[in-house]
Amino acid sequence: MAEDEGVAKSSEAAGQPSGAPAPVFISYASQDTAVANAVIESLEQHGIKCWIAPRDVTPGLQYADEIVGAINDAKILVLVLSEHAVASPHVGREVERAASKRRRIIVLRTDVAPVTRSFEYFLSESQWIDVAALGVPAALMKLMQAVGQSLAPSRVSPGLGTDIRNLADRKRKPSYPTVKRLIAAAVFLVVAALVVGVMVRYWPSKQRDPQAPVVAAISDKSIAVLPFTDMSEKKDQEYFADGMAEEIIDLLVKIPGLKVISRTSSFQFKGKTGDLRSIATQLGVAYVLEGSVRKSGDRLRVTAQLINSRDGTHLFSQNYDRELSDVLKMQDEIADTLVRALQIEMSSEGIASRPALRNTDAYTLYLRGQHAFDRFDQQGSERAANYFQQALDLDPAFAVAASKLAAAYMVLGEWGFMPPAAAFEPARHAEELALKLDPNLADAHAGLGRIHGVYDWDWSAADRELKLAQALAPNDPRILFVGALQSLSTGHWDEALKLVNASLTQDPLNPSGYFVLYQVQLRRGRFAEAEAAIRRTLAISPTFSRAHFYLGRVLLARNQPQAALTEMQKEGDDATRLGGSAMAYFALRRKADSDVALAQMLKDQAKHNPFYIAQVYAFRGESDEAFKWLDRAYEQKDLSLSHIKGDVPFKALEGDPRYKTFLKKMNLPE
């Protein structure tokens, strides 16, 4: 990408006559020239003219007239938003002018530097595209689509915006113009891929928050294990096929120097027949392992294939025939073969082979429990706990089953399906049993740390257990995720950001990871980034519990109460729908409607959700009632209290001495 001493490539250089009206005005700071060039190049590849003002001139009347004229002629202003843009008087005036002329503004945010109140004001109705949350390729593609959808078809080359969606819907035999549009769409995809590649390569590293996710080249030492296919005659071994893939993932994640995608992300492609190269690109890996399982009685046949996602070649394809009792040894052998194929340096003995199963029935029950637990709902968690308990009854030394039993109980407790004590006390017993059986089980240390934090409010004990877990499994995305939750609760938000980003690197399609990222960014005051993260959660998992409520929360923080109300009322959870609506109505100055929603909440939710009631009162500025309900939440052991520190609705209470007293009672730092 050519650069000329900080002067962006202009449309004139690309063939646009000087002074000719252009539908898109690019606003940027001189330090962001490389990014501006990439934006221009990608848009002009599709016939979209851009007007961009040089940044190396001394402002004057003629220069100002050209800027004003160009913004007046434009339909869209694309703002490359960074810390430099916020500090630039040029950019500030351009944004103000575009907002005053009611031009559409699309914000491509390249870092997480704070935005001034004036920028927040002028950009309140803009579309924000967040590079840190989406990644460079996805952000650039979204920008091109947003511009294409906003311009008349005559200004946009075929294939961009809505035309590209419409092509798939046309059932009739293509006419000659339609064929041309299909060709143009194909060209668009190829060109877009090239532009994305250029932008990934040249995107200035200094634009990034040092703790934000970094878009890096795909490492040769990276792999995703896709769900194995059930090839059994009765097609009743899906749980076993899933378990095989997950066990191999758990072995690989322990290998230093190898990036292994978590099952949460790789299993997003279960049952889908997408192109392996596309899947690998979405997961950010160079290699993909796929396989199949055929189980008949106590005989097991597994086929495993390692594929280079760049050229589709097979590095190996092997069949493994074993007795069920030898399944652990077979998993070890597959993992060892993968490590050697990827040329990962290991100790001379490679992966240590585990002994044969002590009890095949217990192992089968364990896999059934994991399959049920993956549903992540009440029925699935209850069934999982039952299966894990049966596995332990058959094999009392099964440490992993004990830790999984604890995890199932914690989900039932944290999501309100069981009273806290009824869930967390048996969870504690199960984790302690797991650690007695295997003191080096990282998941059990992390689980016990979670219990100490969210249930005991003993943050020091939680921290000790999590440090042990991280020492045992420093690269495990699950351990990193739990560490992020601990740092979030205790107010160490920079550390939480670091940990959740590290987890998302290996689990890039985990909706819960983006939910935690949302919580962290909200507390850091990075509202645009928080909104992008919770929207990412919804994009991956449209039914994610309470996600619409949390999206509404950040829209309230961004002073968009009507949009917030719309989101709140989409929520399926009664407590958060009522509480969110009460807050949104209050922000809209519709206090009577807020009172109605709050009254219904008091009637229906007082027993189970006092924390959310306290949240509403705090948002409405009714401090006495807020503290009354916080005390009630404390007495009822409301687990949501673990997230109180830095929670935006409680900001209004921070100057009240009672708030510091309450945090002290929660053993949280003031």
pLDDT of 141: 78
- Separation between Cα atoms, residue 524 and residue 501, nearest integer Å: 15
Give yes or no for a contact between 306 and 314, defined as CB atoms under 8 angstroms apart. Answer: yes
Q: What is the pLDDT of residue 477?
A: 94
- Residue 220, pLDDT score: 84
**Nearest C-alpha neighbor of 428 from the set 456, 394, 396:** 456
Task: Return the pLDDT at 133.
Answer: 62
Taking residues 629-634, what's their average pLDDT? 97
Q: How confident is the model at residue 213 (pLDDT cuts 50, 70, 90)?
A: very low
Contacts (Cβ under 8 Å, ≥6 apart) of 437: 397, 398, 399, 402
High-pLDDT (> 70) share of the chain, %? 83
208 pLDDT more than 60: no
The mean pLDDT value for 164-181 works out to: 39
pLDDT greater than 60 at residue 81: yes
Residue 18 has a pLDDT of 42
Look at 78-87, 138-147, 303-312, 506-515 and tell me which has the smallest mean pLDDT.
138-147
pLDDT band at 286 (very low <50, low <70, confident <90, very high): very high
- Give the model's confidence band at 14: pLDDT under 50 very low, under 70 low, under 90 confident, else very high: very low
Q: Can you tell me the mean pLDDT for 276-294?
A: 90
Q: Which single residue is written with the structure tokens 């430099």?
A: 84
Determine the pLDDT at residue 290.
93
Of 327, 333, 330, 411, the C-alpha closest to 366 is: 327
Q: Please give the Cα distance from 487 to 229 (Å, whole number).
A: 38
Enter the tokens of residue 620: 């409405």
Nearest residue to 326 via CA among 302, 308, 303, 310: 302
Question: Is 457 within 8 Å of 467 (Cβ atoms)?
Answer: no
- Give the pLDDT of residue 177: 44
Q: What is the pLDDT of residues 453-476, one digit of tens each?
A: 999 999 999 999 999 999 999 989
Output b/e per residue, 214-231; b: 16+ Cβ within 10 A. Answer: ebeebeebbbbbbbbbbb
Q: Which of 571, 623, 560 is nearest to 597 (CA)?
A: 571
605 vs 271, residue with greater confidence: 605
Tokens of 252: 């690989």
Q: Which of 95-99, 133-137, 345-349, 650-654 has the lowest mean pLDDT?
A: 345-349
pLDDT at 248 over 60: yes
530, burial (CB in 10 Å: exposed 0-12, middle 13-18, buried 19+)? buried
Tokens read off for 421: 């004590």
| CA atoms of 480 and 506, how far apart (whole Å) | 10
Q: Average pLDDT for residues 532-557, to the nearest whole number? A: 93
- Examine the pLDDT at 181 and tell me if it is beyond 80: no
Mean pLDDT computed over 137-155: 73
Structure confidence at residue 605 (pLDDT): 93
- The confidence band for 206, taking pLDDT boundaries of 50, 70 and 90, is very low
pLDDT at residue 324 greater than cutoff 60: yes
What band does 89 get if pLDDT is binned at 50, 70 and 90?
A: confident
> Tokens at residue 428, please?
């504690």
AA identity, residue 86: V
Handedness of CA 394, 397, 398, 400 (dihedral sign): positive
Mean pLDDT calculated for residue range 637-666: 94
| DSSP H or E stretch at residue 290 | strand 287-296
* pLDDT score of 506: 92
**Distance from C-alpha of 60 to C-alpha of 58, rounded to nearest angstrom:** 6
pLDDT in tens, 331-381: 999 998 898 888 887 654 556 677 788 899 999 999 999 999 988 788 999
Per-residue model confidence as pLDDT tens digits over 218-227: 788 899 999 9
Domains belonging to the chain, first-starting first, are: 24-207 (3.40.50.10140), 222-356 (3.40.50.10610), 358-474 (1.25.40.10)
* Average predicted confidence (pLDDT) for the chain: 84
Contact 367, 236 (CB under 8 A): no
Question: In the predicted model, what is the mean pLDDT of residues 77-82?
Answer: 91
- Least confident piece of the model among 138-142, 243-247, 431-435: 138-142
What residue has token string 């962001």?
32
- Predicted confidence (pLDDT) at residue 298 exceeds the cutoff of 90: no
| Token representation of residue 404 | 């999984």
Higher pLDDT, 635 or 355: 635
The residue ranking higher by pLDDT, 273 or 20, is: 273
Confidence check: pLDDT of 244 > 90: yes
Which pLDDT belongs to residue 564? 96
- The percentage of residues in the chain with a pLDDT greater than 90, rounded to a whole number, is 55
Query: In this structure, what token pair is assigned to residue 418?
Result: 């069981």
Q: Confidence class of residue 109 from pLDDT cuts 50, 70 and 90?
A: confident
Which residue has better confidence, 12 or 640? Answer: 640
* For residues 646-670, average pLDDT: 93
Task: Give the dihedral sign, CA 435/440/441/443.
Answer: positive
* pLDDT surpassing 60 at residue 159: no
Confidence (pLDDT) at 217: 60
pLDDT of residue 69: 84
Task: Assess whether pLDDT exceeds 80 at residue 96.
Answer: yes
What are 618's strand-pairing partners? none
- Long-range CB pairs of 191-194 (<8 Å, 24+ gap) are 191/42, 191/45, 191/46, 192/42, 192/45, 192/140, 192/141, 192/144
Averaged pLDDT for residues 241-256: 91
Contacts for 418 with CB less than 8 Å, ≥ 6 apart = 409, 412
Inform me whether the pLDDT recorded for 538 exceeds 70. Answer: yes
Identify the band that residue 398 occupies on the pLDDT scale cut at 50, 70 and 90. Answer: very high
pLDDT of 254 strictly over 80: yes
pLDDT of residue 233: 84
Q: From residue 583, give the alpha-carbon distance in Å to each of 7, 414, 504, 602.
A: 47, 24, 31, 14
Which residues sit opposite 299 in a β-bridge?
A: 296, 323
Maximum pairwise Cα distance, the chain:
85
Summarised one tens digit per residue, pLDDT across range 487-521 is 999 999 999 999 999 999 999 999 999 999 999 99
Angle, CA of 130, 535 and 638, to the nearest 5°: 125
Alpha-carbon distance 578 to 596, whole Å?
A: 9
